[in-house]
Amino acid sequence: MFSEIIGQEAVKQQLRQAAREGRIPHAQLFAGQGGVGKLRLALAYAQYLNCPHRTDDDSCGQCPTCLQYKKLQHPDLHFAFPIVKTDAGDTCDAYMEQWRDIVLSKGYFDLDDWYKALGVETKQGIIYEKESGEILRKLSLKSFGEGYKVMIVWQPEKMNTICANKLLKLLEEPPEKTVFLFVSEHPEQLLSTIQSRVQLIRVPRLPEQTIAEALVGDGIDASAAGDIARIANGSYLQARKKASETEENQQELRDFIALFRDAYTVGVINDPQKKLESLSRLRQWSQDMADSKVGREKQKHFLQYAQQQVRENYIRNLGQPELNYQMAGERDFSVRFSPFIHDGNVEQIMNQLALAERQIEQNGNAKIIFFDLCLQMIVLIKIKKQ
């Protein structure tokens, strides 16, 4: 229901008004960064469309339709999402139990969380060609009631090309009273022909105050909630992950510190023995980062995290600490590290981290990519401020 979603009042109003006025496009694209509530909005909207007793503000939450939606078990509600082929099957139906569990238990989650739920953290999911046939079959069935058949496609940018092209044909000639709701973090990666056939619903970042209030409601101390909300970059999911301070969250900081400490030693310190030891550690660091247990999604996430921290250190070096968005451990390291991130090298460092991220995305050899990154950091970290 809309009332259960954090913030996004303007988007809620836009969706409710369109439904009340009968202006319901057959395909809509909920686009925005992760953790802002796109999937929950799509689900609340679908429920609102089909609730026979909805009010101006929300669905009733008590009728049989709402109760089935609450359990994600309405016969006219369908899903497609990235999967990894296993013995269980190669279509989404084989993973519906895990899907319902993560949607109902977490509400806000990302691809990393989904892959954990599937037990395939080391692989990248795809919406396979076969799924397009399943979508066509489901939407060709007679509706259970008089409402809309709804197909929610989560992360549609993960569709392979054949699946996307087959789905395009369905978008061009959709079955009667059928609504497609695409939920995407990277809409630019969709086929341009699909982008042109959907109505865009932009879901913005959440205000800091909204996130802080939600964290307080989760039992987080008000002062801590404010700090966390400030660095969450508008994402309630990221705020919740920061609040948990799990070992996984802290590991990225340790990896970041290890990379730049040893790169600094090799590039700057005039001690051959220390240089050799640090170079050896960097080689081991590269191997550890490339380990299959880490997985490509975690590798990409670390490189994104490293870019964020380089940005934060550059801002701190400019003497603008009020613009920094860091946790306590990150700030402690930045006090010593930030002087080495400046106008002379920050752009090149960011470019190298972004390049490594793209290469990982393209399934390059992770060991080579990360060791080359180490060598580049050795060169760039010793560039002196101009």
Residue 270 pLDDT: 87
Cα separation, 211 vs 214, in Å, equals 5
Distance between CA atoms of residues 15 and 19, nearest Å:
6
Annotate 281-320 with b (16+ C-beta within 10 A) or e (fewer).
Answer: bbeebbeebbeeebbbbbbbbbbebbbbbbbbbbbbbeee
Nearest Cα to Cα of residue 208 among 181, 184, 227, 189: 227
pLDDT number for residue 142: 81
According to DSSP, the residues that pair with 86 across neighbouring strands are: 89
Q: Which residues of 37-74 are buried (b: 16+ CB within 10 A; e: fewer)?
A: bbbbbbbbbbbbbbbeebeeebbbbeeebbebbbebeb
SS3 78: strand
pLDDT average per 10 residues of sequence, the chain (386 residues): 94 94 92 95 95 93 94 94 81 93 93 87 81 90 85 94 89 88 94 91 95 90 83 90 71 94 92 93 95 84 92 86 74 88 94 96 94 96 83
Name the residue ranges covered by the structural domains of the chain. 6-204, 210-242, 247-381
Taking the C-alpha atoms of residue 168 and residue 176, their distance in angstroms, rounded to an integer, is 16
Q: Report the pLDDT value the prediction gives residue 39, as an integer from 0 to 100.
A: 97
Instruction: Provide the pLDDT for residue 370.
Output: 96
Which CATH number does 6-204 carry?
A: 3.40.50.300
pLDDT, tens digit, for every residue of 122-171? 568 899 989 999 999 998 888 887 889 999 999 999 998 999 998 988 88
Nearest to 279 by CA among 159, 181, 375: 375
CA 101 from chain center: how many Å? 18
Q: In what order do the strands lie in the sheet with 199-202?
A: 77-80, 149-154, 178-184, 27-31, 199-202
Distance between CA 122 and CA 382 in Å, rounded? 34
Decide: helix, strand or coil at residue 329.
Answer: helix
Helix or strand run (H / E) with residue 150? strand 149-154
* Tens of pLDDT, residues 54-99: 999 999 999 999 999 999 999 999 999 999 877 767 899 999 999 9
Q: Which of 49, 103, 105, 36 is nearest to 76 (CA)?
A: 49
Beta-carbon contacts of 377 under 8 Å, excluding residues fewer than 6 positions away, are 259, 260, 263, 267, 349, 352
What is the H or E stretch that residue 200 is in?
Answer: strand 199-202
